[in-house]
Amino acid sequence: MGLVTDPPTFPEGLNLADYFLFDRLEEGKSASVALRFGSRCWTYGEVAARTRAFASLLLGSGVRRGERVLIVLPDVPPFAWAFFGTLAASAVVAMGNPDVPISSIEYLVRYTRATAVVTVPKVYQALRLAMEEGRIGNEVRCMWAVPDAATGDDCEHLQEDLGDELADLTNAMANASTRDTFPACHRDEPAIWLFTSGSTGEPKANIHSHRDFAFNTEVYAKATVGYREGDISVSVPRLYFGYATGTNLMFPFAVGATVGLFSERPTPEALTRAIAMYKPTIVTNVPTMLGKLLDHDEALRNKGERGLDLSSIRFSLSAGEALPEALLIRWNERFKSDVYDGIGSAEMFHIYASNRPGDIKPGSLGKVVAGYELRVLAEDADGPGANECEPGEIGVLWVKGDSVSMGYWLDRDKSWKTFFGHWCRTGDLFKKDADGYLYFAGRADELLKVSGLWVSPVEVEECLSKHEAVALVAVIGVEEGGLQKTKAFIVLRQGHAPSAELSTALQEFAKERMAKHKYPRVIEFVDDVPKNDRGKVDRKALRAAEAAKKA
């Protein structure tokens, strides 16, 4: 699995605002639709004008080259001009979820040392209070609020309370003196900080340069899955998450396509409305939502209504967690629509191994994206030069490519354990077959030792997901009598009810298909399982809930 002979290269003067946005104007796409939000549209020319206004506002407010701008917004159009405007000003983008507790957002402000914040009114007010009470430092020199059209939240009360209409981003941009030129930028300057999911401790930021994002766009978005002009994209994950920032903002803009945004909480109903409104050709998805869409479609048809119409979709993307083979088969049988499951990380910006057009192997995460190099090595390997595991043997995945992070902000120790020059030790367990297809086996730090033998929660989940009664499953380790056992939390499909008989049947189903020590000793039927703000099943929350029961 070597690198391609001629990976893309970029000029020293690369700025992502040019690469993703302003170059579209040079290509004559000023009048093409870039963004849709409900019934409203914004062309590339209009997005570019607002981007220039925001970049001018930053510079006029004293934000300097290389300083962080924290964007804490739902999926609304101002996210785009705040994002590209920060890059145009040669400042650095950091992004956060507006719906997490304010303490988590205060952490991001302190950690990033942001000099500017763009957020929603409720967070704006909470951060103002945090400043007054000294919970965050004085680095923040300017802050603006963006109304959320979906919730009816507006900035009128901010103007009344603060006596400052420029707290509203729209007013502030309108009153700024727009500049024609912006600071020059080097391709290796920091551009965007991407956060880890924070499965252990607080999230850490990966520092990425401008060239990282352009590189992955060329080799993955364009060359592997095939984004093209005329596409319309929508996303289940929110824009603050690097997976969606790529698939539903950067990648479509790179080819002059259209982004469809909706700011409601992603549910099967909300996504169905967005699909009906925008008729997308590309949907950025996650396995849990694929399952929920199938269940929603089935419920509609059981009531005698028309099922979901997904006929506009060229392909869907899936990442964040492994896509069970059984779920993909159900999807293909019902909708006959390709899903390209892949693996990426904040450390590498985006996807570096994927299924792709004409090459989908259910249960696998596909093959390496040309431009990257992957190696599966023993867990105790001390560097990327160690001997690679044999086909079928589980080891830790290492990845090499030109989108690798510069390191974690304020965590040299973790950086030294993860980055080895051009290489990144992912910490993810994989096996590779003789044809080069990759199969996820879980996180090295989530393996369970049961009866003295190692068990991968992902393997148990994959097995149980093939049972006709199972809609979703999450497996963790629990301690009983001083011994570790596997426990499965199972969400049932419609038409199936929890029972002791079904629990026993599921255990027997697993025993017949796996080594006997791997079957779940305990099964609990639940309505849903917790997920983190990236849409992944949150095993950390499940473990905490189990611990609380015994406290």
One domain for residues 513 and 402: no
In a domain, 194, yes or no: no
Considering the domain boundaries, does residue 197 fall inside one? no
Residue 510 lies in a domain: yes
Confidence class for position 539, pLDDT limits 50, 70, 90: confident
Domain boundary among 185, 217, 233: 185
- The pLDDT assigned to 149 comes to 58
392-421 pLDDT, tens per residue?
999 999 999 999 999 999 999 999 999 999
Distance of CA 329 to the CA centre of its chain: 24
Q: Please, which pLDDT band fits residue 450 given cuts at 50, 70 and 90?
A: confident
**Is there a contact between 430 and 439 (Cβ–Cβ < 8 Å)?**
yes
Is it the case that residue 333 has pLDDT exceeding 80? yes
CATH code of the domain in which 312 resides: 3.40.50.12780
pLDDT tens digits along 244-271? 999 999 999 999 999 999 999 999 999 9
Among the residues of 303-354, which ranges form H helices?
325-335
In a domain, 193, yes or no: no
Average pLDDT over residues 267-289: 96
Determine, yes or no, domain membership for 487: yes
Q: Count of domains in the chain?
A: 3
pLDDT tens-digit series, residues 115-139: 999 999 999 999 999 999 999 988 8
Per-residue pLDDT, 155: 54
Q: Do 439 and 453 have their domain in common? A: no
Domain limit, last residue, from 443, 468, 490 = 443
Instruction: Give every CB contact of residue 333 below 8 A, 6+ residues apart in sequence.
Output: none
| Secondary element (H or E) of residue 395 | strand 395-400
* 418 in the same domain as 504: no
Q: What residue numbers bound the domain in which 217 lies?
A: 207-443
Burial 112-124 (b: 16+ CB within 10 A, else e): bbbbbbbbbbebb
Same domain, 408 and 519: no
Instruction: Give the model confidence (pLDDT) of 76-87 as tens digits.
Output: 999 999 999 999
The residue out of 422, 443, 464 marking a domain boundary is 443
Taking residues 48-53, report their average pLDDT. Answer: 97
* Residue 376 located in a structural domain: yes
Q: Is residue 542 within 8 Å of residue 531, measured between CB atoms?
A: no
Q: What is the pTM of this model?
A: 0.86
Distance CA 134, CA 266 (A): 35
**CATH code at position 451:** 3.30.300.30
**Which pLDDT belongs to residue 1?**
37
